[in-house]
Amino acid sequence: MSNRSKTLYTGVNNDLQRRVFEHKQKLIDGFTRKYNIALLVYYEVTSDVSSAIGREKQIKGWLRSKKLALVESTNPGWKDLSEGWHETPSDPPARQYKTEVDLT
Measured CA angle at 93 (ends 33, 37), to 5 deg: 15
Phi, psi of 82 (to 5 degrees): -100, 10
Sorted by where each begins, the domain ranges of the chain are 16-74
In 3-state terms, what secondary structure has residue 5?
Answer: coil
Specify the pTM. Answer: 0.79
8 touches 32 (CB < 8 A): no
> Is residue 2 helix, strand or coil?
strand
DSSP notation for 15-39: -HHHHHHHHHHT-S-SHHHHTT--B
pLDDT digits (tens, 9 = 90+) for 30-86: 999 999 999 999 999 999 999 999 999 999 999 999 999 999 999 999 999 999 887
